[in-house]
Chains A and B, each alone.
Chain A
Amino acid sequence: AQSVTQLDSHVSVSEGTPVLLRCNYSSSYSPSLFWYVQHPNKGLQLLLKYTSAATLVKGINGFEAEFKKSETSFHLTKPSAHMSDAAEYFCVVSDPGGYQKVTFGTGTKLQVIP
C-alpha cells in the first residue's frame, strides 16, 4: 500500500528566503510523485511531477523537487519565496498499475511574511 507523510502542517518564511516543504512516501513499487498547490478557495493545480526520469524535477513558478529513493523523500524547494506563494501544498504518491488511484498527504500551509 502507498502512503505519504508531509512532515509540517504549517511553514512560515520571510519573503525572499528559501522554501522547504518536506514529504516522505511509502510505496511497494517505483512510484509516481506529485506536488499540487491550492490557493485559498481555489482548486488544485499541478506544480511538478516525478515519473522515473530525472530525479531533480523542475516545476512551475520556480519550484523544484528532488526524488531520493534511499531516503524515500520528495521535498519541495524554492530559492526565494514570493508573497504569491502563500498557499497550501499537497504531496501525492501513486503506484503504477491499478486504476490510477493516488494518495494525498494532509497538506502544508505556507505562510510568506513580508
Chain B
Amino acid sequence: DAGITQSPRHKVTETGTPVTLRCHQTENHRYMYWYRQDPGHGLRLIHYSYGVKDTDKGEVSDGYSVSRSKTEDFLLTLESATSSQTSVYFCAISDDGTGSPYEQYFGPGTRLTVT
C-alpha cells in the first residue's frame, strides 16, 4: 500500500468553527489531491497540488482552502465549517515518474461531521 496517512480519521465539529485535515505521504509523489465523497456523487475534487506551494481549485472548492509547504504534507482547511461540509474526505497522490501517469493512490479517509 502507498504510504498515505490522514489525520484525524474522525472529527465532529460545530458550525462556524475552523477545521484542518492533514494528508501525509511517504512516496515523494508530486501530485496531491483532496476529494469529498457524498452518496450519489462519487468523489469530487476539492483542490489539488502539483508541487510545493503550487495548488489549484477543483470542482467543489468553495469554502475550502489548501496549503502545501512540504512535498509530503497537504492540508485542507475549512475556514468556517457548515453542515453541508459533512462528508468523507479522501486524500490521494499520483506521480508522473516511473509509475503509470494518473493512477492515484488513496488514503484511508477522514469522516467529518459538522453539527
Q: Interface size for chain B: under 10, 10 to 19, 20 to 34, or 35 or more residues?
A: 20 to 34
Interface residues of A in 26-54 (CB under 8 A from B): 32, 34, 36, 42-46, 49, 51
B103, A34: Cβ atoms under 8 Å? yes
- A61 in the interface, Cβ–Cβ < 8 Å? no
Least distance between A49 CB and chain B CB atoms (Å): 6
Give the docked Cα–Cα distance between A90 and B50 (Å): 24
B104, A102: Cβ atoms under 8 Å? yes
B44, A44: Cβ atoms under 8 Å? no
A101, B100: Cβ atoms under 8 Å? no
A101, B45: Cβ atoms under 8 Å? yes
A90, B48: Cβ atoms under 8 Å? no
A43, B107: Cβ atoms under 8 Å? yes
Chain A interface residue count, Cβ-Cβ cutoff 8 angstroms:
22
B42, A105: Cβ atoms under 8 Å? yes
Give the docked Cα–Cα distance between A113 and B93 (Å): 35
A44, B106: Cβ atoms under 8 Å? yes
Contact of A49 among B40, B45, B103 (CB under 8 A): B103
A100, B102: Cβ atoms under 8 Å? yes
B31, A90: Cβ atoms under 8 Å? no
B-contact 0/1 string along A80-114, CB 8 Å cutoff? 00000000001000101001111011110000000
Least distance between A32 CB and chain B CB atoms (Å): 5
Chain B residues engaging chain A, CB cutoff 8 angstroms = 31, 35, 40-45, 48, 50, 56, 58, 90, 92, 94, 96, 100-109
- Show 19 A/B contacts (Cβ-Cβ < 8 Å), sorted by A: A9-B40, A34-B102, A34-B103, A43-B90, A43-B107, A43-B109, A44-B92, A51-B102, A96-B101, A99-B50, A99-B56, A100-B31, A100-B50, A100-B94, A101-B45, A101-B48, A102-B102, A102-B104, A104-B35
